[in-house]
Amino acid sequence: MSAMRFSESVTGIIQDGVLVVTIDNPPVNAISAHVRQGLVEALDHGASLGLVVGIVVTGAGRTFVGGADIKEFGQPPVEPTLPEVIERIESCGKPIVAAVNGAVLGGGCEIALACHGRVANDKASFGMPEVKLGIVPGAGGTQRLPRLIGTVAAIDLIGSGRAIKAAEALSLGLVDGVAVDHLDAALSLVHDLAGEPLRRTGLLGVPPAEPAAVEAATKKVLSRARGQTAPAEAVRLVKAATDVELRQGLADERSTFLRLRDSTEAAALRHVFFAERQAGKVEKLEGIVARNIETVGIVGTGLMGAGITVAALTSGYRVVGVEQTQEAADKGRERISATLEKSVQSGRLAAAARDGCRARLTVTADAGELASADFVIEAVFDDLTVKTELFQRLDGIVRPDAILATNTSYLNPDEIAAATAHPERVVGLHFFSPANIMRLVEVVDCKATVPDVLASALALARKMGKLPVVCGVTEGFIGNRIFSAYRREAEFMVEDGAAPHEIDAALEAYGFPMGIFAVYDMAGLEIAWARRKRQAATRDPNARYVEIADKLCEAGRFGRKTGRGWYDYSGGERAVDPAVKTLIEAARGAKGIEPRHFSADEIVTRLLKAMADEGAALLAEGIAGRPGDIDLVMINGYGFPAHKGGPMFAADLDTTS
């Protein structure tokens, strides 16, 4: 029989007396209005055909259903709603089985939950990531999932938004079977279910749970929520499924979903979602093909180099690590090995994958081995002479088509590139420490970088699982330049009367995991001090300069590692130090500043404005391509709370509200 078309994205075919309905809405089969309309048409058709014993629902391509169409959020509602479609599925008189062929997320999971049976192939993954978008499931997920897998597992999955593989879904009871041929398995399940009383998930009771386990799961979710609303609401709704009737639970879930969907928090997280998908897309690279990279050379296997090495190894590259001496190479190998081991212990890396990583790694004191590398990343001491000398040497070692990347954080990569015979093959790759864990990489498009080198650097970063953000050359690139403006403003407020702990408390209440002075102490104060000393001669004498950080360094207070910095750590915890108060008062006195009170609101407003103003300057100078890129850098590199959308989003909100 020829294929039936129920809408532009939903088709059907009858196979073995079963209507097989396929959702085909690229790129991720989101449940757009025409998918919902098509599904309703298909269900009606399947129910009305006497020869059809049941229905299978599946997805075309790599995804079953990627969830509600996020682009529809904020648009006027179009019928039928997803809860209406789901109600039709669950109450259908013929068995409906979900044949899960790939990722099934959010509303997609809710469709699968409402089906009378679920089978998956081994590529399937299941997740309810709504909390990551600042919302809760809005089509029955919080009510049906606990009925199927229990309250504790449902709190974990819905509260964290994490995705699980087919095998875990099977062990939790989320699917009835995992098969190589999911369609075949789904067809036979429909035949098994036909004529039998149907198992409707919404009518099941929630299995009893140990109160202590429910409490522990709740605590875990809330401890990670950091000021976000959605996770707590999601947990509340899941717990309520035990106590209230399905209809009441669904109504509560729907009104909570609609309220959160229209919140600023959800708008911020949607902005982040789309900004991430935009990041690294550069108009001038359209049609440019990235070079094939198989072997990555890494010069310097200290903390940063080892982290980059692990990120490269775990994404399948062969790595040649180079050090200056055999002793340093041995130490580097040990450091890399220990980092790999830690990844295995924390569950990020399978033991077999670790063995593969080791087999692809060479660490040597012979720089000549870099001749086999397609892409070389330097992660040596951040000093211009050291780096330019290294790049000159690399010219004589690497292949003519090899790409050279510098991991400098503050130096001018154009100057480093100029030291080589071929500056067109040099690019900046600014990783964040620990580089095997932090997702952000600033990809610096230098003056002479040619498009296919930039495209290759982006492709490499993406393959390493990173979030690459392209930027132009400026001191500190996007992140450190904004961080400097933010730090400057914080220090102005300290000089004018705010205590460092008041500023940190205001930032932490806003959602930063750590205030700026606590971050300072953790990173160590001495590197920035050395930089300020280097810049002293060229500093604008008329610009305001706060000396308090210099005075702390002069007193040997370099932060946590010395037990004292902006705070005192001698008791193990961060504590306000009267000696710092005295030092600040002396600095104010020396300038004749009369201290005044700063409210938490004023502190946050001023710091956000300082970041957004610097961001606007970066955009005007063409250093950053999009406001969203700046937001991603601050969120992923500097602890800016994602649910606030980043400094540019927050500033935009301020001017539009």
The answer to whether the CB of 624 falls within 8 A of the CB of 630 is: yes
625 contributes a contact to ligand 3H9 by CB under 6 A: no
The answer to whether residues 479 and 634 touch, using CB atoms and an 8 Å cutoff, is yes
Instruction: Please say which residue, 128 or 319, places its beta carbon nearer to ligand 3H9.
Output: 128
* 77 sits near ligand 3H9 (criterion: CB under 6 A): no
With contact defined as beta carbons under 8 Å apart, do 320 and 377 qualify?
no
Closest approach, Cβ 293 to ligand 3H9, in A, equals: 20
Token pair 């035990």 is found at: 242
- Yes or no: say if 384 and 411 are a contact pair by the CB < 8 Å rule: yes
Number of residues interacting with ligand 3H9: please give it, by CB under 6 A: 25
Q: Which of 597, 532, 522 is nearest to 567 (CA)?
A: 522
CA distance 627 to 163: 29
DSSP summary character for residue 6: E
CA distance 319 to 363: 8
Applying CB under 6 A, does 280 fall inside the site for ligand 3H9? Answer: no
Radius of gyration of the chain (CA): 28
For the bound state, the minimum distance from the C-beta of residue 129 to ligand 3H9, rounded and expressed in Å, comes to: 4
Nearer to ligand 3H9, 141 or 627 (CB): 141
**DSSP-based helix, strand, coil % in the chain, nearest 5:** 55, 15, 35
Residue 103 interacts with ligand 3H9 (CB under 6 A): yes or no: yes
Which is closer to ligand 3H9, CB of 139 or CB of 235? 139
Nearest to ligand 3H9 of 34, 447 (CB atom): 34
Q: What are 10's strand-pairing partners?
A: 7, 23
> Would you state the structure tokens that stand for residue 220, as one six-digit string?
């875990």
Q: Candidates 10, 21, 28, 405: give the one binding ligand 3H9 (CB under 6 A).
A: 28
If binding is defined by CB under 6 A, does position 71 make contact with ligand 3H9?
Answer: yes
Name the minimum Å distance from CB 466 to ligand 3H9: 14
Q: Which residues contact 385 (CB under 8 A, 6 or more apart)?
A: none
Cβ proximity to ligand 3H9: between 109 and 503 the closer is 109
Q: Name 533's Cβ contacts closer than 8 Å, sequence gap at least 6.
A: none
Verify binding: residue 231, ligand 3H9, rule CB under 6 A.
Answer: no
* CA–CA gap between residue 305 and residue 317 (Å, rounded): 15
Minimum CB distance to ligand 3H9, residue 260 (Å): 10
Tokens 């980059």 locate to 308
In the complex, the smallest distance separating the C-beta of residue 82 from ligand 3H9, rounded to whole angstroms, is: 4
Q: How far is the CB of 70 from ligand 3H9 (least distance, A)?
A: 4
Q: Do residues 53 and 17 touch, judged by C-beta distance below 8 A? A: yes
At its nearest, how many Å lie between ligand 3H9 and the CB of residue 152? 21
Q: Is 67 in the site for ligand 3H9 (CB under 6 A)?
A: yes
Q: Which of residues 105, 174, 427, 635 is near ligand 3H9 by CB under 6 A?
A: 105
265 binds ligand 3H9 (CB under 6 A): no
Least distance from ligand 3H9 to the Cβ atom of residue 269, Å: 10
Of 21, 53, 82, 459, the one binding ligand 3H9 (CB under 6 A) is 82
* Per-residue interface string for the shown chain with ligand 3H9, residues 128-167, x marking contact by CB under 6 A: -xx--x---xxx-x--------------------------
Buried b or exposed e, range 555-570, using 16+ CB within 10 angstroms = eebbbbeeebbbbbbe
Closest CA to 289 of 427, 453, 434: 453
Instruction: Note if the bond before 129 is cis, omega within 30 degrees.
Output: no
Please identify, using beta-carbon distances, which residue of 276 and 496 lies nearer to ligand 3H9.
Answer: 276
Token code pair at residue 288: 């440019």
Regarding 30 and contact with ligand 3H9 (CB under 6 A), the answer is yes
> How many Å apart are CA 234 and CA 227, to the nearest integer?
14
Nearer to ligand 3H9, 256 or 449 (CB): 256
Answer for the pair 525, 548: CB distance below 8 angstroms, yes or no.
no
Q: By CB under 6 A, tell whether 68 contacts ligand 3H9.
A: yes
Q: 């509340």: which residue's tokens?
A: 236
Nearer to ligand 3H9, 237 or 373 (CB): 237
If one asks whether residue 370 binds ligand 3H9 (CB under 6 A), the answer comes out as: no
* Active site amino acids: 409, 430, 442, 480
The piece of 1-9, 17-25, 99-107, 443-451 that touches ligand 3H9 (CB under 6 A) is 99-107
Q: Which residues bind ligand 3H9 (CB under 6 A)?
A: 27-28, 30, 63, 66-71, 82, 103, 105-107, 110, 129-130, 133, 137-139, 141, 274, 277
